[in-house]
Amino acid sequence: MSDSLLIENVAGKSAEREEPLPPQSLLQIALIELALAVGSFGIGTGEFSIMGLLPNVADEFAVTTPQAGYAISAYASGVVVGAPIIAVLAAKLPRRTLLLILMAIFALGNAVSALAPTFSSFVILRFLTGLPHGAYFGVAALVAASQVEPNKRTQAVARVMTGLTVATLLGTPIATFFGQAMTWRLAFGAVGVIGLLTVALIWLFLPQDRVADGASPLRELGAFKRKQVWYTLGIGAVGFGGLFSVFSYIASTATEVAHMPESMVPVMMAVFGSGMIIGNLIGAWLADRDLKATIAGTLVCSIIVMTLLYLTASNPYMLAICAFLVGGSVAIGPALQTRLMDVAADAQTLAAALNHSAFNVANALGAWLGGLAIAAGYGYASTGWVGALLALGGLVVLGLALASEKRSATCRATPCTT
């Protein structure tokens, strides 16, 4: 079956294919989404707070700030590795059980990260803590989407993801403030507590579900056979890297380029987070109306905004405006998540988890390339043009995906070599 035909058959029906829960009332749905969003808040705080604390981590372990960025890449690598492995091996686990296990591991990993005695051990612990990240978000997105009408799936996913974006507005700035004032270790200890709270909320609010008929590791691996799955993952892995190129070094950009006092770093993080919250919600609303246009439009806007950041980063006000707009590029996240639901057919758990592997490839790629540009002497503002090039790369991958989809549609009408 061609990818375009698959999209037509699956779009709007992915939530019905594997319904993990019986029908819920509006209040029950809201409580389920709240529990899942608290988990995403904890994950977001744990993932992003280190970006504002990189100078503090670097000072304590006597490494450079770009070297401290390896901890970001290590966490992202854990997500990339853990998401597909967990999704496949846990194919026969009920989603509620899997979510509880994943969040318990995440909580423990952050608690132990707060006690790391050396930089090497800290990097290893960040890798291990990242392992459950992608699978948690993938399963949480499927649970949320299964509770609403097909034409509202992206908005349901976005509400769960709101915890992640709120983390950038509240959790990350608060963690950064106390991390700078006291110790960065406090931030990871607090994230561990949020993880335990999530375990309790999921236990209370998410009913026990049943494993879908025919669920198996082999069926999940079927996602790897679909070209449009790979294209969609490529869009996220490349195109979303620009956000992380900028965000990973936003603290140093603010202090070293715009000459802001260190006390303004939490404010910049909050500005970035505000953009992410608004972008997440507006992007989901737009995606439920025109999925492809939302993805393309977000990438084009990212190219423009990140170029502007590179040109104006020395101005504190322009840096704040650009940080807000770069944060808004998270609008692409829910859209790509829904597209994966449409093209993955009956391998949705793996595909949904891989979405976050792709985003963390973007995280690792953006932080790494941004660090290379800085180390090469181009300065912290160079993360802007690095981000613009990555967004352009994502747009190219989208073009290839749409061309392949169009070719598949043509071949259905007139047989041709695929």
Q: What is the 3-state secondary structure (H, E, C) of the chain?
A: CCHHHHHHHHCCCHHHHCCCCCCCCHHHHHHHHHHHHHHHHHHHHHHHHHHHHHHHHHHHHCCCHHHHCHHHHHHHHHHHHHHHHHHHHCCCCCHHHHHHHHHHHHHHHHHHHCCCCCHHHHHHHHHHHHCCHHHHHHHHHHHHHCCCCHHHHHHHHHHHHHHHHHHHHHHHHHHHHHHHHCCCHHHHHHHHHHHHHHHHHHHHHCCCCCCCCCCCHHHHHHHHHCHHHHHHHHHHHHHCHHHHHHHCCHHHHHHHHCCCCHHHHHHHHHHHHHHHHHHHHHHHHHHCCCHHHHHHHHHHHHHHHHHHHHHHCCCHHHHHHHHHHHHHHHHHHHHHHHHHHHHCCCCHHHHHHHHHHHHHHHHHHHHHHHHHHHHHHHCHHHHHHHHHHHHHHHHHHHHHHHHHHHHHHHHHHCCCCC
37 domain residue, yes or no: yes
Separation CA 61–CA 133 (nearest Å): 26
Q: Give pTM, 2 decimals.
A: 0.79
Predicted pLDDT of residue 14 = 44
Query: What is the structure's pLDDT at 383?
Result: 94
Domain of residue 311 covers: 3-413
Residues 392 and 238: beta-carbon distance below 8 Å = no
Q: Confirm if 123 and 160 have CB atoms less than 8 A apart.
A: no
pLDDT at residue 15 in the model: 40
Q: How many Å apart are CA 287 and CA 334, to the nearest integer?
A: 8
Q: What are the φ and ψ backbone dihedral angles of 206, each rounded to 5 degrees? A: -95, 115
Check residue 250 and give its pLDDT. Answer: 86
What pLDDT is recorded for position 2? Answer: 45
- Cα(140)–Cα(175) distance, rounded to whole angstroms? 25
Integer Cα distance of 152 and 147 in angstroms: 10
Are the CB atoms for 387 and 241 separated by under 8 Å?
A: yes
Q: Which of 407, 391, 377, 269 is nearest to 329 (CA)?
A: 391
Q: How many domains does the chain have?
A: 1
138's tokens: 């993938």
- Which CATH number characterizes residue 138's domain? 1.20.1250.20
Residue 418 lies in a domain: no
Q: Has residue 246 been placed in a domain?
A: yes
Distance, in Å, from the CA atom of 390 to the CA atom of 243, rounded to the nearest integer, reads: 9
pLDDT, mean of each 10-residue run, the chain (418 residues): 45 44 74 94 88 84 84 85 88 89 95 92 94 91 84 87 84 81 89 96 88 73 84 93 88 91 84 89 90 94 95 94 93 89 78 83 86 91 94 95 84 62
Compute the distance between CA of residue 370 and CA of residue 92 in angstroms, rounded to an integer. Answer: 40
End-to-end CA distance of the chain: 11
Residue from 391, 387, 161, 167 nearest 280 by CA: 161
Phi/psi of residue 41, nearest 5 degrees: -65, -45
pLDDT for the residue numbered 374: 92
Residue 349 domain flag: yes
Do 54 and 66 meet the contact criterion of CB atoms below 8 Å apart? no
Distance CA 150, CA 145 (A): 8
- In the block, which residue shows the tokens 């999704």? 87
